[in-house]
Amino acid sequence: MSLQSPRFAPEDRLQMAASNAWPIRNGERSRGVHVLQNALLDLGYSMPISTRHVELNPDGHFGRETLRVVEQFQRDEGLSVDGVIGRQTMSALDRLFPAFEYRVRLHLRAVHGPGELICVVPYETAIEATQRVFGRYGIRIDYGSGESVALSESQRAAFHTIESDCVWNIPAGDMRDLQQVGTPVPANEIVVYYVRAFGDRDLLGCGGHAPGRPACTVRVDAPLWVTAHEVGHVLLTSSFDPVHMRLRQNLMHRNAVPGSGVPMLTRAQVARMKEHPCCERLTQSRPRRSIEIPRTLSFQTPMERQRWRSN
């Protein structure tokens, strides 16, 4: 069988398990196991051992606890209880997660001067990569709009290199000015601005924005996952601790360039992101949330500012 769930279908490892070509068994460590554990947790199964790790949570390790939970799931679903995730179990899970539960709308903006090349931003690539990261957690990333904004001579000079420090609450300066450019979007949708360069050459992106205007800024030549990483900052807000993770598999690793494969998020990160006004619940079981972003989120000390520096 071929998996249909937006959570599981893009995960090759799970497709292989679903076809019985390579079932998932006790002892495996993989991203596929992480996605499965996460789904089982969302179904209400308790996994205190697998969720102990702060930066890789659930831990993607099919150990004894996961085995017990898989067996319980099989029992609950009336399947044969063998603790192995193959076609039967994968198919049962697939049916339980038929659709995305949340959505985030992104708008992409590239800026360019007269006569400059426009298509420096691979919009589709950035969107697809972001969809791959968040989709595993039931969050759909929608492509709201994309614009190549032609700049005046003075804007071109001002925005060629963004000199503003990367802080959470951008009060003024060229990054704030940049984030006024282009067609405005609703206050609960996120705009991603692509720029040529930052004054700080180490910076690949910045999740800072003006209060009430969720946005982030990404260098056009930044690696694949940086858009998802900066969107992650916007959704986590500055109050989520830790801002960055040390583990490269986590999307919020400081360099946003994981060793291989799709970066992961922890239970705590996903839970926080789903609380953000830009993360809209698609099923109507909860009331629609306010679209105001708290104005109190700002950095106080140079150390915190430093910590926020994205990459």
List interacting residues with Zn ion (CB under 5 A).
Answer: 310
Closest distance between Zn ion and the C-beta of residue 111, in Å? 21
Least distance between Zn ion and beta carbon 309 (Å): 8
Closest among 222, 204, 218, 207 to 170, alpha carbons compared: 207
Rounded to 5°, angle at Cα 87 from 85 and 93 = 70
Smaller CB distance to Zn ion: residue 38 or 310? 310
Name which of 161 and 255 has its Cβ closer to Zn ion.
255
- Residue with the closest Cβ to Zn ion? 310
Q: Which amino acid is at 16?
A: M
* CA 186 – CA 106 distance, rounded (Å): 11
**148 or 310: CB nearest Zn ion:** 310
Least distance CB 295 / Zn ion (angstroms): 22
Give the shortest CB-167-to-Zn ion separation in angstroms: 12
CB 145 within 8 A of CB 190: no
Q: Which CB atom, from 43 or from 297, has the smaller least distance to Zn ion?
A: 297
Q: Return the number of the residue (83 or 205) whose C-beta is nearest Zn ion.
A: 205
Closest separation between CB of residue 255 and Zn ion, Å?
9
Please report how close the Cβ of residue 246 comes to Zn ion at its closest, in angstroms. 13
Q: What's the min distance (Å) between Cβ of 207 and Zn ion?
A: 6
The number of residues in the chain equals 311
Nearer to Zn ion, 66 or 310 (CB): 310
Which is closer to Zn ion, CB of 121 or CB of 228? 228
Contacts of 304 (CB under 8 A, 6+ apart): none
